[in-house]
Every structure is written in structure tokens, then in C-alpha cells.
């Protein structure tokens, strides 16, 4: 029995680690997975945002926007798993809204830290006790996954 060897001594027909992921991107299998991951990520982050903003008593009405965008992103992600058309229309729209809101939230959190006593001169304390500085950027990652899923090729 002879084993065919591909370039660099690898056994032909086997894929390991990153090769398997690249193959999924090339064949279009990754688009559905990333759509599903976007749906789950949107729900998890919306729940976390709800609890954090609730502890701040939703002092600013804009705090409701990322909570509302979570289910919208989840619905678009699930629709993207089921339908190619939804993956190319609804998912990028919902994801772009999530990214925009995450960037807006970052601005509002920076402003919130600046409004605490001592502002940025007391940065160490205000960053720890004020609005979480980088949390809104984590929301943009969920939106970015949805945008990436929308531009990826889908399997036939």
C-alpha cells in the first residue's frame, strides 16, 4: 500500500487545523456557521447589555437601542442560516446597525467617563467605576461577524 504525499510531505486528502477552516470558507460552508454564530452572539450580548443597563436604571433612553438590536440581529442571523437571500440582505442591514450602535456606544461611554468627578484626570477610578469603556466595541464584533458572513460565499 502506498500513501500519496502532497507538497511538503503532508498526506494527500487530510486537512488539519487552519486548512480545514480555509476549505470551509472556499466551499461556502462557513457562511452559514458565521450567520448562526452572529445570531447567538447577538442574543448573548443583548442579554448582558440589558442587565448592565438595567443596573444603571436605563438612565438614558438610548440604552434601549442595543437591547432592541440584539433580537433583530439574532433573527437576521437565523434567517441567514436558512436563506441565502436573507444572508445577503437582512443580515448585513442588521449587522451594520449593530456596528454603528457599538461605535455610538463607545462614544457615549467615553463621554460618560469624562463626566464622572475628575473626568479623565481620574481615569483609573472612573474607568473602573463608570461605564465599561470597551464593552460597546465587543458589540461591534458581533455586527462585524454578521457583515463578514454576508460577504462570504455560500455553498450550493
The mean pLDDT value for 17-27 works out to 82
Mean pLDDT of 67-83: 97
Between the alpha carbon of residue 122 and those of residues 105, 107, 110, 118, the distances in Å are 21, 18, 13, 5
Domain-located, residue 78: yes
44-71 pLDDT, tens per residue? 999 999 999 999 999 999 999 999 999 9
Residue 67 is assigned to a structural domain of this protein: yes
The residues, any chain, with a CB within 8 Å of residue 20's CB and separated by 6 or more, are: none
87 part of a folded domain: yes
Total of domains in the chain: 1
State the pTM of this model: 0.85
Q: How far apart are CA 117 and CA 153, in angstroms?
A: 50
Give a yes or no: residue 71 inside a domain: yes
Question: Using CB atoms within 10 A of its CB, is residue 4 exposed (0-12), middle (13-18) or buried (19+)?
Answer: exposed
Give me the domain span that covers residue 56. Answer: 18-151
9 falls within a domain: no
Q: d(Cα 142, Cα 49) in Å, to the nearest integer? A: 13
What is the structure's pLDDT at 129? Answer: 94
Contact between residue 150 and residue 91 where contact means Cβ atoms under 8 Å apart:
yes
Query: Which pLDDT value is given to residue 5?
Result: 52
Residue 153's pLDDT is 86
Residues 6 or more apart in contact with residue 128 via CB below 8 angstroms: none
In the predicted structure, residue 39 carries a pLDDT above the cut 70 = yes
**pLDDT > 90 in the chain, percent:** 78
Least confidently predicted of 23-27, 77-81, 84-88: 23-27
Domain assignment present for 5: no
Q: Is 6 a domain residue?
A: no
Amino acid at each position: 500500500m502506498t500513501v500519496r504525499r502532497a507538497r511538503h510531505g503532508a498526506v494527500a486528502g487530510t486537512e488539519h487545523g487552519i486548512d480545514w477552516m480555509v476549505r470551509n470558507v472556499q466551499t461556502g460552508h462557513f457562511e452559514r456557521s458565521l450567520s448562526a454564530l452572529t445570531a447567538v452572539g447577538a442574543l448573548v450580548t443583548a442579554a448582558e447589555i440589558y442587565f448592565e443597563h438595567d443596573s444603571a436604571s436605563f438612565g438614558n433612553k438610548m440604552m434601549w437601542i442595543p437591547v432592541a438590536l440584539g433580537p433583530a440581529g439574532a433573527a437576521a442571523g437565523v434567517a441567514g442560516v436558512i436563506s441565502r437571500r436573507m444572508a445577503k440582505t437582512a443580515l448585513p442591514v442588521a449587522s451594520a446597525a449593530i456596528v454603528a450602535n457599538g461605535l455610538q456606544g463607545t462614544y457615549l461611554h467615553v463621554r460618560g467617563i469624562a463626566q464622572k468627578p475628575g473626568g479623565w484626570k481620574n481615569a483609573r477610578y472612573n474607568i473602573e467605576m463608570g461605564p465599561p469603556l470597551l464593552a460597546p466595541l465587543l458589540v461591534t464584533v458581533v455586527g462585524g461577524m454578521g457583515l463578514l458572513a454576508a460577504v462570504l460565499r455560500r455553498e450550493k
